[in-house]
Amino acid sequence: MDYLDEHGLPVYISDVMSRINEEKPQSIRGFMLDYFDAVSNGTNVLFRDFTYIKATPRNRISFAAQLASIVNSNPKDSYKPADYFHMIELISTGFPVEIVQRASDVTEYLLGLRDPRNQSEPAVALPKKSFLSYFKICFYYTEFLDLTEKILLSTSLDHFSHSKNSMASIILNSTDLTNLKCLFRSQLQDQLTTYSPSVKIPTTQTIHFCTERTFSGNQLMASSIAQSAKLITFEFIRNLCLIEINFGPK
């Protein structure tokens, strides 16, 4: 990823030229100044489609900030996942509910608000400070986290193919977690050599920190292999949030 792509300049140039062609403003110079001023202050992502919102790292951070502004302007301290998604729909089009669901699931699990092994329980209200923090990470790193969960599922299936664990009930002890960590780290390194996400992945140091902390527990219980991969991903997100929550556009 070269410097111009890293900062999304080709995306913005293409978008502003397309809008100039559509809107035919009297002053092209003034239109471009207004456009890049909006990019600078983060309002360029308002009322845009998801393809544009996710197109650059700056856009993703800006959108998370705009959502936080809207949520925090409301008096309540907590909202249900559907409420957060509705607020997102007010300022965007085509935003995937799956990203909101992941952020909601992470918030519920890490705050102990709902047992992830019992999905029949009704959705609960989530504190906005916690939800917004996890949403920011889940959106910014959505492709990387998809890859992480995919690798965790693959390594878990490989590990449990040689295990005496019942497929209906998964109990990971410290030895299991250590073995999974080695498998996960190896596969992640292999995948990242050819991985080309639309935003930057975490630094090598950050990935190492998150991996070590994520697999440092003594036990993890899940109702299935797929759920064990999901819960480990949630722990990875928790640790990612610990050191990256204050990141933003430079």
Q: Is residue 127 located within the same domain as residue 70?
A: yes
Task: For residue 169, give both structure tokens.
Answer: 């009930």
- Per-residue pLDDT, averaged over 180-197, amounts to 88
Boundary-marking domain end, from 85, 120, 140: 140
Instruction: Please state which of the ranges 56-70, 158-172, 180-194 shows the lowest mean pLDDT.
Output: 158-172
Counting the structural domains of the chain, the total is 2
Boundary-marking domain end, from 113, 140, 167: 140
**Which candidate, 142, 136, 160, 147, places its Cα nearest to that of 65?**
136
Instruction: Classify residue 77: in a domain, yes or no.
Output: yes
- Per-residue pLDDT, averaged over 92-108, amounts to 97
Identify the domain containing residue 74 by its residue range.
42-140
Q: Are strands 78-79 and 92-93 parallel, antiparallel or unpaired?
A: unpaired
Q: Say if residue 92's pLDDT is above 60.
A: yes
Q: Is residue 127 located within the same domain as residue 147?
A: no
Q: Is residue 216 located within the same domain as residue 156?
A: yes
pTM for this prediction? 0.91
**Which candidate, 58, 65, 103, places its Cα nearest to that of 83?**
103
Q: Is residue 132 located within the same domain as residue 146?
A: no
Task: For residue 145, give both structure tokens.
Answer: 């986290």
Torsion of CA 61, 202, 154, 150, to 10 degrees: 10
Boundary-marking domain end, from 140, 166, 192: 140
Q: Say if residue 16's pLDDT is above 50.
A: yes
3-state secondary structure of 90: helix
Mean pLDDT, the chain, rounded, equals 90
Q: Is residue 152 located within the same domain as residue 222?
A: yes
- Per-residue pLDDT, averaged over 153-157, amounts to 90
Q: Is residue 149 located within the same domain as residue 108?
A: no
CB contact set of 206 (below 8 Å; sequence gap of 6+): 240, 243, 244
Q: Which long-range contacts (CB under 8 A, 24 or more apart) does 231-238 make?
A: 231/109, 231/116, 232/152, 232/180, 233/145, 233/148, 233/149, 233/152, 234/105, 234/106, 234/109, 234/110, 236/145, 236/148, 236/210, 236/211, 237/106, 237/134, 237/137, 237/138, 237/145, 238/106, 238/110
Q: Is residue 179 located within the same domain as residue 198?
A: yes
Q: Say if residue 34's pLDDT is above 70.
A: yes
Count Cβ atoms within 10 A of the Cβ of residue 185 and give its class: 0-12 exposed, 13-18 middle, 19 or more buried. middle
Distance CA 129, CA 71 (A): 9
Instruction: Classify residue 90: in a domain, yes or no.
Output: yes
Residue scoring higher pLDDT (198 or 15): 15
Instruction: Classify residue 250: in a domain, yes or no.
Output: no
Distance CA 10, CA 2 (A): 11
Give 50-65 pLDDT, tens digit per residue: 999 999 999 999 999 9
Q: Is residue 161 located within the same domain as residue 237?
A: yes
- Per-residue pLDDT, averaged over 3-31, amounts to 94
